Chains A and B, each alone.
Chain A
Amino acid sequence: MKIIALDSSGLVASVAIVEDDNLIAEYNVQYKKTHSQTILPMLDELKKMVELDLGTVDAVAISKGPGSFTGLRIGSATVKGLAQALDIPVIEVGTLEGLACNLYGSSSLICPLMDARRGQVYTGLYGFEKNDTGFKLVTHLSERAVSIEEIIDEAVIKGRETGQDVIFLGDGVPVFKNVIKEKMSGPYSFAPAHMNRQRAAAFAHLAMDYYKEGKAVSCFDHAPEYLRLSQAERERNEGKRNKGSAY
């Protein structure tokens, strides 16, 4: 099966064309241009380079979130357009799971970090477990928006419990490196450049499994998972709550 995978959830724009366990092409850019200017020209370039016949593509995979609201929507609208025009399904892959998959087979605790602003990170805790065919991604702590201190505490507790070291990765690492160095106890490290940002090929890998599990959706049903309400909705809910408590 052939998949086009896209990620524009954070600072990186990444596009991959994957056929089964064969990565035909991947293009990663971390540059100041907006994803709106990069992601489709990147796919177009790959398509030409590998003479891809779009009619042979079985599905499009997308990093569904969390991440930058605007970045997620650029990726989502792009795959929704592709899926509608090519009449193929969308496979949604969590951004943090996709990031964790960069470290396939690792025996460490994997902690992806994305800067969520407002003093928080989008994060979770993941690992790999051996099964019949290789390794399977397992979730120790599901995706959430919390303070960096909170996720460090969680990582320390889990590490003590299992005796595992922790690997941090993601575009949140440069933002919080000093806090991690200061607060982190127990063994840890930072993933190197070739595996510390979103890579569409990793999303495609998970997408293949999801597809086989029947988890693909139609373009009509796909929307990003933001993990957060809009600011206006948040403030409105808070206002209601405050009003409620006054009575």
Chain B
Amino acid sequence: MDTGKGTIKILSIETSCDETAAAVTVNGREVLSNIIYSQIALHKDYGGVVPEIASRKHIEKINQVVDAALSESGYGLDDMDAIAVTYGPGLVGALLVGVSAAKAIAFAKDIPLIGVHHIEGHISANYIENKDLEPPFVCLVASGGHSHLVAVKDYGEYEVLGRTRDDAAGEAFDKVARAIGLGYPGGPKIDKAAKEGNPDAIDFPRAKVEGSEYDFSFSGLKSAVLNYLNQCEMKGMDVNVNDVAASFQKAVVDVLTDHSINAVNAYGLKKFAIAGGVASNSALRESLKKRCEKENIEFFCPSPVYCTDNAAMIGTAGYYEFIKGERSGYDLNAVPALKLGER
């Protein structure tokens, strides 16, 4: 697999939701460039991501982010050993833009193409800044679209231990943020408001899913917040937005922390990592870090730029697929409900 230069350079593309992103990585762990065009401002007025608007923006920006990623890396397309692209899960129309462009570039340059699982990308983001981290470990993936507890057994080998039964963690943040008037995107706004509030002010429920100790459920918590807001209104009480944000966030963080630590201990893997947009949440990071210290578990978390959707993580995951010999054909399609560990 040696290219003669001793390194494998991968151009990676990610368009599964509302970020148009491209990156150049070397040997999976060194990031030469990581360009992200965020569409958040476009979707703000709609209170969430509008798939058709996202897809249209991806088409307009795809060449620009690829061009910027290459020029920042100092290399050209001819220097690339492979193209990696997210092909699922995600919004089908959005995914198709990245997949179609990546396939065409791979075809035009006659270089290998590797379809990458989006969640595998998020998990792999941990490899970028933790050069010594290797599987096995347990990883909590929490974002606007996903909440998974995963045992990473080896590169590209996963066992899903738990997942959300209803809303993803990030989705709950978005919905509650809307309900208390903080707007979109909910994650960072609640994080900020919570810093000014009392996390013990309101006792919101910590939901357990019957019969599966690592699964999550956030819809009950969301309803509890809505009920609380209704009651306040009926009683003519003022709502302390910061207290609601802090108490809601505490409830989410407690559940994510407990389930994660239980899974790490049950599986006897003393290594634990977090990934996904919600992994940027300061309270979650703090809570997990403390618990891991207490329980003598090695804790890994990517910088916020690698928690959000980005292409560098796709390059990292793609690298490990590449050295295993995985290749995708020109008939690679977007798979909106792709499961982890499937190809």
* Residues on the B chain within 8 Å of A232, using CB: 46, 50, 52-53
| CB–CB B108/A81 < 8 A | yes
**Complex: how many Å from CA A78 to CA B102?**
8
Q: How many residues of A contact B (CB 8 A)?
A: 33
Contact B62 A80 (CB under 8 A): yes
B67 A70 Cβ-Cβ under 8 A: no
Question: Which residue on chain B has the smallest CB distance to residue A69?
Answer: B52
Which B residue's beta carbon lies closest to that of A57? Answer: B108
Would you call A219 an interface residue if the criterion is a C-beta within 8 Å of the partner chain's C-beta atoms?
A: yes
A236: Cβ under 8 A from any B Cβ = yes
| Interchain CB contact under 8 A, B96 and A36 | yes
Query: Could you mark each residue 51-74 of chain A with 1 if its beta carbon is under 8 Å from any beta carbon of chain B, else 0?
Result: 000100000000000000110011
Query: Does B161 reach chain A (CB closer than 8 Å)?
Result: no
The answer to whether A85 and B77 have CB atoms under 8 Å apart is yes
Q: Does A147 contact B (CB under 8 A)?
A: no
Enumerate chain B residues within 8 angstroms of A82, measured Cβ to Cβ: 104-105, 107-108
Q: Which of B51-94 contact A (CB under 8 A)?
A: 52-53, 55-56, 59-60, 62-64, 66-67, 77, 92-93
Which of A43, A74, A236 lies at the interface centre, i.e. has the most chain B CB atoms within 10 A of its CB? A74
Which of the four size classes fits the interface of chain B?
A: 35 or more
Once the chains bind, are A80 and B101 in contact (CB under 8 Å)?
Answer: yes
Stretch at the interface among A113-121, A137-145, A202-210, A223-231: A223-231
0 or 1 for each of A73-88: is its CB under 8 Å from B? (1 = yes): 1101111111011100
Q: Does A25 contact B (CB under 8 A)?
A: no
- Give every chain B residue within 8 A of A40 (Cβ-Cβ): 100, 103-104, 107, 330-331
Contact across chains for B108 and A85 when beta carbons are under 8 A apart: yes
Instruction: List residues of B (1-50) whose CB comes within 8 Å of A's CBs.
Output: 45-46, 50
Inter-chain CA distance A78–B329, complex, in Å, is: 14
**Quick check: is B116 within 8 A (CB to CB) of the other chain?**
no
* Contact with A70, one of B63, B96, B103 (Cβ below 8 angstroms): B96
Indicate if the CB atoms of B93 and A236 lie closer than 8 Å.
no
- Is the pair B45, A37 in contact by a Cβ cutoff of 8 Å? no
Contacts across chains A and B counted by CB atoms under 8 Å? 108
Interface residue? B246 (CB, 8 A)? no
**Are A41 and B59 CB-contacts (below 8 A) given A77-B101, A231-B52?**
no
Query: How far, in whole Å, are A215 and B147 apart by their CA atoms in the complex?
Result: 48
Residues from chain B with a CB closer than 8 A to the CB of A223 are 56, 59-60
A247 at the interface (CB under 8 A from B): no
Q: Is the CB of B52 within 8 A of A36?
A: no
Contact across chains for A236 and B108 when beta carbons are under 8 A apart: no
Partner of B62, one of A37, A38, A77: A77
Interface SS of chain A: helix
Cα-based distance from A40 to B330 in the complex (angstroms): 6
- A236 with B107, Cβ < 8 A, contacts A34-B333, A70-B93, A220-B63 known: no
Q: How far apart are B256's CB and chain A's nearest CB, in angstroms?
A: 31
B304 → A minimal CB distance (Å): 28
Q: Is B278 an interface residue (CB 8 A)?
A: no
Bound state CA distance, A214 and B273, in angstroms?
Answer: 54
Is A238 interfacial (CB-CB < 8 Å)? no
Q: Is B274 among interface residues, defined by CB-CB distance under 8 A?
A: no
- Please give the distance in Å from B258's CB to the nearest CB on chain A: 38
Contact partners of B104 in chain A: CB under 8 A: 40, 77-82, 85
Cβ of B97 < 8 Å from any Cβ of A?
yes
Q: Which of B92, B93, B98, B333 contacts A37 (CB 8 A)?
A: B333
Residues of A within 8 A of B45 (CB): 236
Q: Is B142 interfacial (CB-CB < 8 Å)?
A: no
Q: Give CA–CA (A223, B331) in the complex, Å.
A: 23
Bound-state CA distance A34–B97 (Å) is 14
User: Quick check: is A44 within 8 A (CB to CB) of the other chain?
Assistant: yes
Bound-state Cα–Cα, A224 to B62, Å: 13
Does B327 interact with chain A (Cβ within 8 Å)?
no
Would you call B109 an interface residue if the criterion is a C-beta within 8 Å of the partner chain's C-beta atoms?
A: yes
Given known pairs A44-B107, A231-B52, the reply for A78 and B331 (CB within 8 Å) is no
A161 at the interface (CB under 8 A from B): no
B99 at the interface (CB under 8 A from A): yes
Whole-angstrom distance from the CB of A38 to the nearest CB of chain B? 8
15 contacts between A and B (CB under 8 A): A36-B333, A40-B330, A40-B331, A69-B55, A69-B93, A73-B59, A78-B101, A78-B104, A79-B104, A80-B63, A82-B105, A84-B101, A84-B105, A85-B104, A85-B108
Footprint of B on A, CB under 8 Å?
34, 36-38, 40-41, 43-44, 54, 69-70, 73-74, 76-82, 84-86, 219-220, 223-224, 226, 230-233, 236
New A-B pairs, 15, CB < 8 Å, besides A36-B100, A37-B331, A74-B96: A36-B96, A41-B330, A43-B107, A70-B96, A77-B101, A78-B104, A81-B62, A81-B100, A81-B102, A81-B107, A82-B104, A82-B107, A85-B105, A86-B108, A236-B45
> Lowest 8 A-B CB distances belong to which pairs?
A81-B104, A85-B108, A77-B100, A230-B52, A81-B101, A40-B330, A232-B50, A77-B101
